[in-house]
Chain A
Amino acid sequence: MIGGQAGQGIQTISSALAKTLVRAGLYVFTHQDYMSRIRGGHNFNQIRFSGNPVSSSRSKVDILVALDRNTVEIHRGGLAANGLIVYDSGAIGQKYDGAEFLDVPSRRIATDVAGGRLMENTVAAGAVTGLLGMDVAHLANLLSEMFQPKGQEVVDKNVAAARAGHKFASESCPGCAFNAPVDESAPRRMLIEGASAVGLGALLSGCRFYAAYPMTPSTPVLNYMAAKSRKYNLVVEQAEDEIAAINMAIGASFAGVRAMTGTAGGGFALMVEGLSLAGMTETPVVILVGQRPAPATGLPTRTEQGDLQFVLNAAHGEFPRLIMAPGSPEQAFYLTNKAFDLAEKYQVPALILSDTYLTDAEWTVTGLDTSRLKYEDYRLRAGDLERLTGYKRHAFTETGVSPLAEPGASRHLVVTDSDEHDEEGHIIEDAATRTRMVEKRLLKKLPQLREEMEPPLVYGSREPETVLAGWGSTYGVIREAVDALSQKHNLAMMHWSEVWPFPAAEKSGYLPVLKAARRTVCIENNATSQFARLLRGQTGYQFTDTVNKFDGRPFLLDELTDRIEGLIG
């Protein structure tokens, strides 16, 4: 764990260490805990690694890098047996006694070898690799790569600082028993967090237009898209508000390009009338909703799964929508692609329901397979349209899906209306057309959409006595909880990452598994078990138990296993 104040460079040390560990063949999982402020306060990043896949954080800390006194005070109680607190008494102005403290004079070392305190965090990162018994070359290589754009001098200084930190720690703590199980023969792996995975997924799905108003935790996706815009012919517009953002995305989509918007629960509240507009005009649009603790402004930088029922029910009127709730960056990547594909195939709004934890947490991923991505342009372009003698934007069809034409690509006019409309898209009020339009837009599409939804992922025992159920970002911690408890108990995970239309129970037979189990526990990062309510409404099945957490923090592995053991004994 690296802890300190906002602005002290926690993220820099953390990123360098995490990537170094991945490069050394380890599986790494990181998560951030930060306050809604730019300077000061108390923030920390947690890095967990192993020779086996990891997908959650634990509460006990083996090595704590404390960049200020506050960090020492807050986290010394959470130190594991034989844990170590690395700090710089010169920098934080306090000397600690005790076997668990290691005073690394990072500031002095940085000044000695790199001519200033700028590199003190690099010294600390080097010290950590020393304590882990790693060859300093892993970190040095990464730093060279990271700082190459800033010139050789910056690279040299950083490498020198890392080496000095590594040397100091190795010599000062020869007995440290943190042996990182480095695996030089491991395949190259990725380290990616949810936000980049969504951005990458959008980019690879042909997203051409992204409009958004900044709001945590969706802003990193806006940043990612903006960073890639020039290279990949993408227009990114910062809208004046979320209402404009969704209307822009809808406008761009109407004009013929794939479009997306992103926000948090609070911003989505403003987008709701636009969601209904997309439903009525059958305009494909992808909407990222990053949940954070609410109501109102809530805990802006923290995490919660409190908006499931909101997103399910948001907007006036009845129309179909898709909701994906990825559980990992890997799922976020593929499900973003699925959202784009289905949104356009069925001309419906598709939501990606994320949260702060999924947005920020970095996972180790063996690779992303682009052959699993789908890209098909469902729109009628100039060539297709010239062959048509007539065109009706909202024509009645067998499937309820009408031809979606690019306006201006031919002489055929593309007309749509937020009022109820006829096949051509013109405003009407008659009962018969209204009835047929609802049937077309909603009732015909809904069963087809439901058919596209994947059932929950079942992991662990085939005939479990206990089922640990969840949706969205709790995937990693539930999966590891199953691993951790499987020696003593017969249990399985059941995880939903596609939540609406609710996957048909007949499709995978998940209901019999639930019914056969003695105990079924629905684990949710909210206060009212919103998913449990959804499942009950859709299938009539009620979980025997629920586990909730709503303090704005994600579930930690040992915390969850303790609570499960408390339930199942």
Chain B
Amino acid sequence: MADPEQFSGQTPSWCPGCGNLNILKAFKAAMSELGLSPHQLTLVSGIGQASKLPHYTAGNTFNGLHGRPLPVATAIRLANHNMIAVAVAGDGDCYGEGGNHFLHAMRRNVNVKLFVHDNQIYGLTKGQASPTSQAGMVTKVQPFGVLLEPLNPVALAVAMDASFAARAYAGDTSFLTEMMTAAMEHRGFALIDILQPCVTFNKLNTYRWYHDRVYRIGAGHDPGDREAAFRLALEQEKIPTGVIYKHERPLLEDQIPVLAGREPLVRQPFSIKAVEKEIDEFY
């Protein structure tokens, strides 16, 4: 285990009691447990409270645009498949603004880890509904309550045949750390939808609310069983957490002939001489 201190960064500006603080703690613990050094990682984030996480830890960092971490992380892996790419996003970021990228990242199965801080509300813009907000939740913008059905990210991931789909709870840091470690060790695109109380804006999904509902999936669940995974993902009364679906699929990186079994693109040499004969085609 590496020194967790090497993953410390700037002081977080999140609210006291914010679920993000636990996620950060779990992240640092998981990276240390895996014996990684910050320079081996690239953290890619969008915009939102979650997306500030890279600044509060250590790693190469691309803190890009709202909704866009996945295309950036995908390309980082294609340009350098020795790099570990972790995308950090919020529920608005990943499931709203970046919804299309989320779908296609699961199809691509590039070896990117996606940690979504899912607080079922917009924090940075102060309390509007997010794609995962419960129907009926009243906000300043949704005075009649949310009229849309919430998106179920894990069920969507199972439906998309994502390589790895887990649900975690920020209030259970040790289990979250385990899941982050499992996602990192999995070879393939990995989603962890992390349920996270927003102590300032979400008065519905509080620590108490989660405490009464969240449970850890038992050893009886086979994450390779897609139908069982789908049933678990759709469970309503109680909220199962753990690795819900997991299976091996060929990585995009392994299917591109110029990458498979080769040095990363970034290492491959270039010279004009080696390419100039392409001009001859036009004579």
Contact = CB atoms under 8 A, between A and B. Distances in A.
Interface of A: 188-192, 196, 200, 203-204, 206, 208-209, 211, 228-230, 232-235, 237, 239-241, 243-245, 247-252, 254-257, 259, 273-274, 277, 281, 365, 368, 370, 373, 375, 406-408, 410-419, 425-427
Contacts of A373: 272
A247 B64 contact: yes
B258 A247 contact: no
B72 A413 contact: no
B20 to A, nearest CB: 15
Contacts of B82: 408
A254 B72 contact: yes
Q: Top 3 A-B pairs ranked by shortest CB distance?
A: A251-B75, A251-B72, A255-B79
Contacts of A416: 61-63
A337 to B, nearest CB: 9
Interface in B244-283: 256-259, 262, 265-266, 268, 270-272, 274-276, 278-279, 282-283
A408 B65 contact: no
A410 B80 CA distance: 14
Given A190-B282, A241-B100, A233 B258 contact: yes
B78 A230 contact: no
B282 A252 contact: no
B58 interface: yes
A228 B64 contact: no
Nearest to A199: B278
Nearest to B69: A247
28 contacts: A188-B283, A189-B283, A200-B279, A204-B275, A208-B270, A230-B257, A230-B258, A234-B258, A241-B100, A249-B75, A250-B64, A250-B75, A252-B76, A252-B78, A255-B79, A255-B266, A256-B80, A370-B276, A407-B60, A407-B76, A408-B40, A408-B60, A411-B39, A413-B60, A413-B61, A415-B54, A417-B55, A419-B47
A237 B61 contact: no
Contacts of A277: 64-65, 68
B141 to A, nearest CB: 23
A395 B55 CA distance: 17
B74 interface: yes
Contacts of A248: 71-72, 74-75, 78
Interface of B: 10, 37-40, 42, 44, 47, 52, 54-55, 58-65, 68, 70-76, 78-80, 82-83, 100-101, 103-104, 256-259, 262, 265-266, 268, 270-272, 274-276, 278-279, 282-283
Q: Which of A203, A239, A247 has the most CB of B within 10 A?
A: A247
A407 B39 CA distance: 7
B266 A406 contact: yes
B58 A413 contact: yes
Given A248-B72, A252-B265, A254-B62, 12 more contacts: A209-B75, A230-B258, A235-B258, A240-B101, A247-B68, A249-B75, A375-B270, A413-B60, A416-B61, A417-B55, A418-B64, A427-B55
A196 to B, nearest CB: 7
Nearest to B47: A418
B76 A254 contact: yes
A419 B83 CA distance: 24
A426 B10 contact: yes
B48 to A, nearest CB: 12
Contacts of A274: 65, 68
Nearest to A407: B60
Contacts of B271: 375
B9 to A, nearest CB: 8
B100 A408 contact: no
Given A281-B62, A373-B272, A427 B52 contact: yes
B265 to A, nearest CB: 5
B74 A255 contact: no
A235 B78 contact: yes
Contacts of B258: 229-230, 233-235
Q: Which of B75, B79, B80, B271 has the most CB of A within 10 A?
A: B75
B14 to A, nearest CB: 13
Contacts of B40: 408
A259 B55 CA distance: 26
Contacts of A413: 38-39, 58-61
A407 B38 CA distance: 11
A254 B52 CA distance: 19
A42 B15 CA distance: 65
B123 to A, nearest CB: 16
Contacts of A191: 282
Nearest to A234: B258
A413 B7 CA distance: 12
A473 B13 CA distance: 52
A232 B262 CA distance: 13
Contact of B65 (A206, A208, A247): A247
B10 A240 contact: no
Contacts of A211: 71, 75
A256 B268 contact: no
A408 B78 contact: no
A368 B258 CA distance: 27
A529 B83 CA distance: 48
